Structure 1
Amino acid sequence: MKKLKKNIWPLVFTGVNIVLFITFFLIPAILGFYYSLTDYKGFGTANFLGFDNYIALFQDASFYRSLFRTFTYAIFLVPLIYAVSLGIAILLNNKHTKGKLIGKIVFFLPWTISGIVAGVIWKWLFGENFGFVNYIIGNLGGESVPWFSNASAAFAVILLAALWGGTAFNMLQFMSALKNIPKSYYEAADIDGASSFQKFLYITIPSLKPTSFMVILLASIGAMKEFALVQSLTNGGPGTANMFIVQYIYTTGFDKMRVGYASAASMVLFAILLVLGLVQMKIGGGKNE
């Protein structure tokens, strides 16, 4: 009884997390897998099809296009977020930098804005007929750029918007990690005559390995699951050129009412994210222990 009383509060707190995990993850995941084996349309009965949805999915060219576009997006975005977040964190952590408080507010503000609102803001900035950017270009004597009529230009705008919104959280992680690096390392390097670049390369980067691993992992998963920003900014356009995998799942499930087929796509995405996480943990996680 005494042992039970001692462990009751840890049990209560972990019990709440377990209930939330079962309610909002495990049950939906089981239902999603079940629906992926049926022809469920969101209403009516669900007829069992076995793995027919998966077979059709792996023969669907639009599925591969959206998956390839998502991978391309992640490959471009993750290094950009890492480099920009680290650069800003180093700048704001430097003792010679002025206006740190204002800088922190300016760089942190985008994180408080939802993806939908961010998409609307950037759509206003880069609108072809009413956008602020084209207005400036026109006043400078240039031609208006068809930002959302050209697939590559629209993709670039999505990357910029995602970088703007995703930098703040990672910047905070790097700022915290930079403060935990012992100053004695840099003092010893100064005595040895190390340059600023050498200190960055041989002290800062190695000391940030655990944080770097977490930033890359979370940024990769976030990029693979991007939806709200793209939906509000380009709606996958022009056409379906910038349709990402989550948009493909959403469109298939809710617009075309093929919930079973969309569930199969979501299971494939879950498997990809699981493998991605395990690979990154294998590569970087063991080194951080």
Structure 2
Amino acid sequence: MRLQRNTFWPLIFTGTNIVLFILFFLIPAILGLYYSLTDYKGYAEPNFIGLINYQELFQDKSFYKALGRTFQYVVILVPSVYIMSLSIALLLNSSLAKGTFIAKIIFFLPWTISGIIAGVIWKWLFGENFGFVNFILGKVGIEQIAWFTNSTAAFSVLIFAAIWGGTAFNMLQFIAALKNVPQTLYEAADIDGANFWHKFRYITLPALKPTSFMVILLASIGAMKEFALVQSLTDGGPGTDNMFIVQYIYMTGFDKMRVGYASAVSMVLF
């Protein structure tokens, strides 16, 4: 009887999450795996074709191009977000900092903006003919830059926009973690004559290992499935130079109506 009570209440409290997990993750994942083995087009009955989608996928240059650009995005973005988030958290956690409450609000505002809106804002800032940045460059006598017709420039804008939007949440995690570092460790280090770098390297970073792991993990997952920001800012352009893997799935599944093939790509991403 006691064992039943100990099992009953956890199930009650976690029941909603379990149901949502089954409905919105487990069932779609199983369907996606099934569709990846068919020629499903989003309508009519799917026909089982086995591993043909996967065979075609691994010979698809467009797939490798989108996957490579996505990995490049992750490799650049994740360390950048980590360094920026930790740096701001250290500044705001400093006893010498003033106005930290207002600063936290300002730094956190980008997190409240959806990816679509953020893309529109940055597109306005870097627009080639109407953008604020090119307007300023023209005023100071610098040649205007074709931000969205040059693949490298467009990719750079994507990186800047993603750092701007992704720093806030990770910054809060670091601030919370820094509050939990025992101050006695820093006091002992001061007595021993340690400078800022020594304290950061031997006290702060080791204490932040669990938080650092979570920040890197979540930032990597978020970057791998980036869609809204890219779609609204560059639409994968110019051409398909900045098309990420999730955009490739979207284009293949909804524009070309090859849901089965897109499901195979989704399985690879998963």
The aligned amino acid for 1:127 is G
1:145 maps to what in 2? 145
2:201 maps to what in 1? 201
1:137-160 Cα deviation digits (max 9, x unpaired):
011111111000100000000000
1:275 maps to what in 2? none
- SS of the counterpart of 1:242? coil
Cα offset for 1:4? 3.7
Alignment of 1:174-185 (within 5 A): 174-185=174-185
The aligned amino acid for 2:198 is Q
For residues 119 and 145 of structure 1, the distance between their equivalents in structure 2, rounded to whole angstroms, comes to 18
Alignment of 1:88-127 (within 5 A): 88-127=88-127
Cα offset for 1:101? 1.3
Instruction: Give me the CA root mean square deviation.
Output: 1.0
How many pairs align?
A: 270
The aligned amino acid for 1:56 is E
For residues 262 and 6 of structure 1, the distance between their equivalents in structure 2, rounded to whole angstroms, comes to 44
Question: Please, which runs of 5 or more residues in structure 1 have no aligned partner?
Answer: 271-289
1:165 maps to what in 2? 165
1:34-73 Cα deviation digits (max 9, x unpaired):
0000010000110111000000000000000000000000
1:214 maps to what in 2? 214
With normalisation by structure 1, the TM-score equals 0.92
For residues 67 and 132 of structure 2, the distance between their equivalents in structure 1, rounded to whole angstroms, comes to 32
2:10 maps to what in 1? 10
The aligned amino acid for 1:258 is R
For residues 11 and 150 of structure 2, the distance between their equivalents in structure 1, rounded to whole angstroms, comes to 55
2:86 maps to what in 1? 86
Report runs of 4+ in structure 1 exceeding 6 Å deviation. none
The aligned amino acid for 1:138 is G
1:191-223 Cα deviation digits (max 9, x unpaired):
100011110111101110000000001001111
- SS of the counterpart of 1:193? coil
1:57 maps to what in 2? 57
The aligned amino acid for 2:67 is L
Cα offset for 1:98? 1.2
Cα offset for 1:232? 0.2
- SS of the counterpart of 1:62? helix
The aligned amino acid for 1:257 is M
For residues 32 and 242 of structure 2, the distance between their equivalents in structure 1, rounded to whole angstroms, comes to 25
For residues 269 and 71 of structure 2, the distance between their equivalents in structure 1, rounded to whole angstroms, comes to 11
Question: Please, which runs of 5 or more residues in structure 2 have no aligned partner?
Answer: none
The aligned amino acid for 1:209 is K
With normalisation by structure 2, the TM-score equals 0.98
Q: 1:63 and 1:189, CA in 2 relative to 1: closer, same or farther beyond 3 A? A: same
For residues 227 and 184 of structure 1, the distance between their equivalents in structure 2, rounded to whole angstroms, comes to 45
2:28 maps to what in 1? 28
